[in-house]
Every structure is written in structure tokens, then in C-alpha cells.
Amino acid sequence: MATKTKPSLPKTSRGAALWAERSRIVSSGTAAYTDLVLERGLGAKVWDVDGKEYIDFAGGIGALNVGHCHPKVVAALREQAGKLLHTSFHVAAYENYLGVCRELIAVAPIPGEKKAILFNSGSEAIENAVKFARGFTKRRTVIAFDNAFHGRTLLCLALDGKHKPLRQGLGAMPPDVHHARYPYSYRPPMGVSPADLTAHCLESLENLFRVSAAAEDVAAIIVEPVQGEGGFIVPTAGFLKGLRSLCDKHGIVLIIDEVQTGFARTGKLFAIEHDGIAPDLLVTAKSLCGGMPLSGVVGRKDIMDSVATGAIGGTYGGNPMACAAALAVFDIVKNDGLVEKGKTVGETVKKRFDAFAAKYPFVGESRGLGAMRAIELVTDKKSKTPLPAAKVKAILHDCQDRGLIAIKAGVHDNVIRTLMPLVIKDDELERGLSALEGALDSVKL
């Protein structure tokens, strides 16, 4: 198979010079989905330092559902910057931290009394959700899933369901973490029919209880309602409900990781609402804050109050600037129909991706929920052998040449996913999808 691989930037451009400097002075440990150096963004468009315009289907990896530099977010930040930048919530409270907690408590699909707390990153919130679960249950074991992604701090690395490159060469991981099977219907275990996949995965969990992680030692099961980095894998019907039942049966805390799925991406405010089950703890980050670093855990009051005062927190968690931006995001969600946009953008992308799956022999599957959509690329539909990562990279480079930023996902790095801002205009969405189609058209088998 031949794909276009011409370099994206002329070697003499300012972007190329800055990129070369990035390679020289920034640790090579951080991923590089593109070789772009950006200067500004607005809505679903960004411009690089050489003035070239791109449609952004990456949205800061799902952190920009409200778009780049949303005017309400920018205005809130400008106003807040003149008032208070930082106190540390440990030292003194401030009103917009309470405002964000109030909003999270109001919208979290969890019945009964709730409390919330704020952090900086998704990983930090995940780590603390596990601490709450351990504090509450006085148990130590945590169960995560194959293909899962929960972050890159040490405990999150242990939870991740992909070894390379995440844990590669990094030594011992925190103990008492086990992985169970997530229902990946495009790649079910050999001999398991799609109809049996939910039961098979729930039984694999029961087996784990019997073999290596006694249910009475399990503090938490942590799960993404749609796996993000794992390849936009939507679980089979009944799987999440089954997890809820198992947690109820064994007194296990169910942690739902909505870091990538949350804030309207799937056509609901939180993806778990599609399944109608209640988490014990819900973790949010990314699009909660329109581009600023903020995350949170919202959950049952009894769990959230179960750890010693001082055991949870950090200098910057729920910083006043980030809280100001998050309150603007809640305003946009309520008043600008963001959840509806998650549905309509998703419908448009789905139509095109379904057509790609019908048109190209190397598009194995079109899948997703709302505007969280993906295509999985294979060498051929029969073998489902993942298209080699280098080929996928070449397609994404071609997209970049055509003015589209698109990124990959998947345990085999063979999935192209869409996380465009939901405020994207119809003509921008069409331009982005056409650029992707052009790149797929130029793939030669």
C-alpha cells in the first residue's frame, strides 16, 4: 500500500524552525501527533505560526467542545485575571470554586446527597477518585479494563490497558491493579459471538474475582463509558449496567471516567446517561473548562467524606482562573445548546464515516457515540489486521497538508477519531471531512 508522505511544512518555514527547536530542547517523552506550531485559534479553526489555516478535529484531545477561545470563556478569564489569580483552596476559599462544585453536583447523574472537589488534570482526578474509593471501602484492589486509558501518572499508568509505550521500561507499577475484558465488538475474543460479548466480559470479571482479586478486597472498578484513547470503543448493551450490578452486589465503588466523553461530546452531558446507570464517583476534566486545566470528582457524599482531612488536594486544584472558565462553559452548555450540537455534529460525521466504511476496503469499521466518532483502519476487512501505524501516520500527515488536524487512537494506533469542537460550523465540518476523504482517496492498496 502506498500513501502520500510529503513533509507538511517547507523546511524554511518558521514552524519548521520552531519544531526543530522543540526536538532539541523538549523531552522526547511527550507524544507528537502533528509537527505543527500553532499561534491562534477560534471556534474549530486554528492558524499556525506561518499563517496557514486548519480545521481542528483534535480539539486539544477533546478539551475544547466549546471551541478555541470561546468569547464567553475569554471574557470570564479577562475579568477574573484582574481580581484573583490564586490563593490555594487549602488556604482560603473563593466563590467560583464553590460555583463549579455547585454546578457539578447539579448535573452529575448520581442520586442522593453529593459532594465535589477540583483538581488540575484528568490523571490527578482519577488518582484521587481511587483514593476516595479506598478510603471509603478500606479495601485496596482496583479493577480497570483492557484498552483503557486513565492518564500518565504512576497509578494511572498501572490502570491503563495498553502497555507500550505507556509503561514501557518504567519499572514496577503500583500493585493491586487488575485488568478485565472490555467488550470490543469489532475484535471479540476468538469464538465469542457479538451477542455473547456482554455476558462473556462480565463473566471474565467474575473469574477475576475467583482467581486473583477477591471481590471483598476490591475498592473500585474504574471504567470509561466509551473508551477514548483505546479507540472510541462503545461497550456492548448491558455491559455498564452489569458492572453496576456487580458493584452493588460486592460493595465496590463504581468510578466512571468521563474525562474524554463528558461535556456534550456524545450527545448527552455525560456519556453514562445513555446507559441510565448512576456512578458512585464521576471523574471529569478536559471540556469541563474550555481549554484551561481543571478536573473534578463528583460523587456520593458518604464516599467523598470518607478520607482524612488533608489527604486530598493540592496547591493549584480548582484555581480561580480555571473555575472562571468552567463557569463560562456551564453557561455555554445551558444557553448555547452544546448537548444538541453533540448530537447533530455526530449525525453528520456518522453518515460520512459509514460511507467511508462502505467505500474503502481498508476502513474496517465506523463507530462511535454522538460526536465521538472513529474509523478503524485495517489491511483488509476479512483478516482485520490493523493497518500499520506508519501508514496511519502518513494518512494523518496528508490530512495536515490538506488543512485538517486529525489524530489517531487505539491499542494498535490504527483508529482515526474525531474530537472537533462542537461549535464547528457546517461548512468547516464539510471541509474537514472532505480533507479526510481526500487523504483516504489517495491511499493505494
Ligand X SMILES: Cc1ncc(COP(=O)(O)O)c(C=O)c1O
Residue 61 C-beta: closest distance to ligand X, Å: 6
Binding of residue 294 to ligand X (CB under 6 A): no
Q: Which is nearer to ligand X, 45 or 150 (CB)?
A: 150
Binding of residue 419 to ligand X (CB under 6 A): no
Phi, psi of 4 (to 5 degrees): -65, 130
Residue 127 C-beta: closest distance to ligand X, Å: 9
Binding of residue 123 to ligand X (CB under 6 A): yes
Single out the residue of 180, 222, 285, 324 in contact with ligand X (rule: CB under 6 A): 285
Q: Which of residues 144-163 bind ligand X (CB under 6 A)?
A: 149-151
SS3 30: coil
Q: Which of residues 225-284 bind ligand X (CB under 6 A)?
A: 228-229, 257, 259-260
Q: Which stretch binds ligand X (CB under 6 A): 17-25, 143-151, 383-391, 415-423?
A: 143-151
Q: Report helix angle 338-359 to 426-441, nearest 10.
A: 20
Residue 213 C-beta: closest distance to ligand X, Å: 21
Candidates 326, 298, 323, 336; CA nearest to 112 is: 298
What is the distance between the alpha carbons of residues 414 and 299, in angstroms, rounded to a whole number?
Answer: 35
Beta strands in 360-427 (DSSP E): 363-369, 372-377, 404-405, 407-409, 415-418
Binding of residue 418 to ligand X (CB under 6 A): no
Q: Which is nearer to ligand X, 121 or 379 (CB)?
A: 121
Q: Which is nearer to ligand X, 286 or 431 (CB)?
A: 286
Contact 166, 157 (CB under 8 A): yes
Q: Which stretch binds ligand X (CB under 6 A): 27-35, 224-232, 266-274, 429-437?
A: 224-232
Binding of residue 121 to ligand X (CB under 6 A): yes
Binding of residue 61 to ligand X (CB under 6 A): yes
> Which residues, at least 6 apart from 296, have a Cβ–Cβ distance to it below 8 Å?
100, 101, 104, 116, 117, 118, 119, 125, 283, 284, 285, 288, 318
What is the distance between the alpha carbons of residues 432 and 421, in angstroms, rounded to a whole number?
Answer: 12
Residue 230 C-beta: closest distance to ligand X, Å: 9
Phi, psi of 114 (to 5 degrees): -130, 160
| Locus of grid cell 446507559 | 275
Residue 120 C-beta: closest distance to ligand X, Å: 8
Structure-block grid coordinates of residue 445: 492498496
Binding of residue 318 to ligand X (CB under 6 A): no
Supply the residues annotated as catalytic.
149, 257, 286
Residue 444 C-beta: closest distance to ligand X, Å: 33
DSSP 170: -
Q: Which of residues 172-201 bind ligand X (CB under 6 A)?
A: none
Candidates 142, 154, 150, 111; CA nearest to 283 is: 150
Interface contacts to ligand X, rule CB under 6 A: 61, 121-123, 126, 149-151, 224, 228-229, 257, 259-260, 285
